[in-house]
Amino acid sequence: MTAAPKKVPIPRNGIDYRGKVVLAPMVRSGECPSRLLALKYGADLVWGPETIDKALIGTTRHVNTVTNTVDFTRFSSNGAKNPAINADQRESVIYRLHPEREGKRLIYQIGTSNPETAVQAAKLIAPDVAGIDVNAGCPKPFSTSGGMGAALLKTPEILCSILRALVTEVGEPNEIGISVKIRILETAGQTEALMRSLCATGITGLTVHCRTTPMRPRERAIRDQLKMVANICRESGVACLMNGDVTSRDEALGLVSEFGCDGAMIATAAETNPSVFRPESQGGKAPWEEVVKEYVKTAMEVENRWGNTKFLLGQMVPGKHQIYRAMTHTKSYTEAVKALGYEAVMLDLARKVDQALEIGEYDKPKLTKAERKAANKGAKVSGKQERAGKEEVQRTAAGIKRTAEMAELDMPPDIARDSGPASVPEQASALAV
């Protein structure tokens, strides 16, 4: 009789990655509407974009009754491009999730280099998600210079201490799983040694991106270490997701059985068309026209920042199509809905969302430089006074109203880095995370 395969127990509120085809963490491209769409088309689980621990620490959790989302928000001391706005509106959404539609299928990915701050941040969001995943694969200097991302692959003792701290101080009390996403190292021996340490930390899952740290996204993924990685995971009872150049659910399932992994993760193919999660037996990948329409509707339902929606539309609409050119001139949901020919079904909603976000025809007139300077001074003082006297939760409990300027921001510059996860300006598609 053969013994049952070893399995690190999956906590009550956690989720087993085995048998799953999942949406990868993607800065900018993995915001709430993108995740909802991936789930609609059959993704089993979705990873949120990497959000660094320090960005989440200090946020307040709000239930947004307008969008039915849970928003983690924070004030920006100098974040608004238009400082004339009042302190209420200086609140930025750092992380938005949809409990009803994402439910316990959302994994929060954290960027960190420190067990204490990792635990502090993860505790805030743990009750709202099915798991916490540590990013140990981002090769960009903004991540590695802070000791995060792929830098952790060179400091396995720090990475393991982060994972152990998350397992005991966040995973166990909240009964959720902790996992890690890595890249392969230069040699199989190096990867094997790393894997053995990681698998002994109490994690329930591990994703391996089959590229080394110096490899660019356009270079083909290398799968010659994959069987070894999958074997170590199986020996240790840790679920193993493979990642790199997986383009559809059906292909994923074939690769999973070929390499002996437990599941697969898809990034760029799903960024362009999230219906890649739909099996061929149910129609497979949908035409971009259908997906774009669903995306616009979903983005409006959750009042997604216009800048982010426009960016994603740029990924989904083929560059050569006339719609693409028409889209580049749009500045609001109303204009986009018109450019895309959805007036009959979406115009009312588009106007409502533009009004809520104060964009397009509801945009506020811009201040001159001198006016901005004067207003910034005043806003700093009044913001401080107001905060001192009021509970933050009360102020925005009915929903978050933000200006067009705020709608363009992922996070206030006081905590944003030049470019990187949880900061907007970068070209996310150029990331080689």
Ligand X SMILES: Cc1cc2nc3c(=O)[nH]c(=O)nc-3n(C[C@H](O)[C@H](O)[C@H](O)COP(=O)(O)O)c2cc1C
Stretch that binds ligand X, among 238-246, 298-306, 326-334, 365-373 (CB under 6 A): 238-246
Q: Which of 11, 83, 115, 244 binds ligand X (CB under 6 A)?
A: 244
Of 138 and 185, CB closest to ligand X: 138
Q: What are phi and psi of 77, to 5 degrees?
A: -70, -35
Catalytic residue among 32, 138, 199, 240: 138
Q: Which of 16, 31, 91, 245 binds ligand X (CB under 6 A)?
A: 245
- Sequence-distant (≥ 6) Cβ neighbours of residue 353 within 8 angstroms: 300, 303, 333
Please report whether residue 131 would count as binding ligand X according to CB under 6 A. Answer: no
Please report whether residue 421 would count as binding ligand X according to CB under 6 A. Answer: yes
Stretch that binds ligand X, among 160-168, 224-232, 260-268, 399-407 (CB under 6 A): 260-268
Q: Which of 29, 34, 236, 403 binds ligand X (CB under 6 A)?
A: 29
138 catalytically annotated:
yes
- Give least dist CB 343 to ligand X, A: 31
Cα separation, 53 vs 398, whole angstroms? 26
Rg (CA), the chain: 22
- Give least dist CB 149 to ligand X, A: 8
CB 163 within 8 A of CB 198: yes
- How crowded is residue 405: how many other Cβ atoms within 10 Å of its Cβ? 21
Please report whether residue 109 would count as binding ligand X according to CB under 6 A. Answer: yes
| Residues contacting ligand X: total by CB under 6 A | 29
Of 131 and 360, CB closest to ligand X: 131
Structure tokens given for 33:
């509407």
Burial per residue of 97-129, b for 16 or more beta-carbon CB atoms within 10 angstroms, e otherwise: bbeebbeebbbbbbbbbbbebbbbbbbbbbebb
Stretch that binds ligand X, among 26-34, 167-175, 196-204, 302-310 (CB under 6 A): 26-34
Q: Which of 25, 83, 139, 412 binds ligand X (CB under 6 A)?
A: 25
Of 110 and 296, CB closest to ligand X: 110
User: Can you give the binding site for ligand X, defined by CB under 6 A?
Assistant: 24-29, 49-50, 109, 135, 137-138, 181, 209, 217, 243-246, 266-269, 271, 421, 428-429, 431, 433
Active site amino acids: 138
